[in-house]
Amino acid sequence: MKKLALALILLPCALFAAGTDMTLKGVTLPGKVQVDGKTLSLNGIGLRTKIVFKVYVAGLYLEKNSADGAEIASSDQLKRMELVFLRGVDGEDVAKAIADGFANNAPEALPAIKDRIARFEKLIPNVKKGDRLVFTYRPGKGVEIEADGKPLGVIEGKDFGDALMLVWLGPKPSDKSLRDGLLGR
C-alpha cells in the first residue's frame, strides 16, 4: 500500500516530461537541444528571483535526466545551463551572485578552482532583458561560456564544472524554488 501511495505522489513528477518545450514568464525553452552531435533534454525550468525582482528564467539540459542535484553536478555528462534574463543586470552582479554560489555550495573545491573562478567572473558581460547566458560543460574540456550565441571563453576542469552546477543545484542555492524547478520538481 505504501508503494502505491508513493507512486501516486510521484506520478505528477513523472508526468512532467523531460524533453518537452516549456514556458515560464513568457520565456519558452525548447525541450531538446543539439550539442556536439548529442541530444540534450530539458530536465527542468525555473525562475530566479531576488527579493521581489524576477531576474532570469533558467533551463537545465542533460544527456541523462535526473532529479538529484548532487548526481547531476558530479556526472561526467554533457550538460548545459541556460539563463534568459528578464531584466538588465550588471555583469559584475551576475558574476558575484555565481561566486557566492560557489562559496555556499562547493567550499571544499574553492582552493583548487579559485583562479578559474576569477577568470570566469571576468567573462560575464552586462546583460539586458532577453539576453541569454549559456554555460555548457563538455567532458574532458570544461565549461564554455557564451552570451547570445557568442562564445566568450572556456574554463577548464571537471572540478570547476561540478562546482558551477552546484551553484544552482547544491544544498544551499540562492533560490530553492529555482533549484526545484531545474530538478523537475
Q: 58-107: per-residue pLDDT in tens? A: 999 999 999 999 999 999 999 999 999 999 999 999 999 999 999 999 99
DSSP letters spanning 97-116: HHHHHHHHH-GGGHHHHHHH
Task: Provide the pLDDT confidence category of residue 11 given band limits of 50, 70 and 90.
Answer: very low
Sole residue written with cell 516530461: 17
Greater confidence (75 vs 9) lies with 75
In a domain, 43, yes or no: yes
| pLDDT of residue 9 exceeding 50 | no
Q: Which pLDDT score, from 0 to 100, does residue 6 have? A: 39
> Residue 154: which CATH number?
3.50.70.10
Range of the domain at 116: 17-182
Percent of the chain with pLDDT over 90: 86
- Residues 126-185: tens digit of each pLDDT: 999 999 999 999 999 999 999 999 999 999 999 999 999 999 999 999 899 999 999 998
Q: Which pLDDT score, from 0 to 100, does residue 15 have? A: 39
| pLDDT of residue 38 exceeding 70 | yes
Nearest to 53 by CA among 183, 181, 182, 174: 174
In a domain, 28, yes or no: yes
In a domain, 12, yes or no: no
Q: Which pLDDT score, from 0 to 100, does residue 164 have? A: 97
User: What mean pLDDT is predicted for residues 27-43?
Assistant: 96
Distance CA 1, CA 6 (A): 9
| pLDDT of residue 8 exceeding 60 | no
Overall residue count recorded for the chain in this entry? 185
Q: Which pLDDT score, from 0 to 100, does residue 185 have? A: 83
- The number of beta carbons lying within 10 Å of the beta carbon of residue 78 is 20
Question: How many domains does the structure of the chain reveal?
Answer: 1
In a domain, 65, yes or no: yes
In a domain, 77, yes or no: yes
User: What mean pLDDT is predicted for residues 23-48?
Assistant: 96
Nearest to 91 by CA among 61, 123, 129, 134: 123
DSSP single-letter state for residue 108: G
In a domain, 45, yes or no: yes
In a domain, 73, yes or no: yes
Strand partners, 176: none
Cell of 23: 514556458
Q: Which pLDDT score, from 0 to 100, does residue 117 have? A: 96
| Terminal alpha carbon distance of the chain | 23
Q: Which pLDDT score, from 0 to 100, does residue 17 have? A: 57
| Nearby residues of 57 by Cβ (< 8 Å), 6 or more positions away | 24, 25, 27, 29, 45, 46, 47, 48, 83, 84, 86
Read off the amino acid at residue 18. A
Dihedral angle computed from the Cα positions of residues 139, 141, 147 and 149, in that order, rounded to the nearest 10 degrees: -80
Q: Which pLDDT score, from 0 to 100, does residue 13 have? A: 43
Nearest to 40 by CA among 80, 83, 82, 84: 80
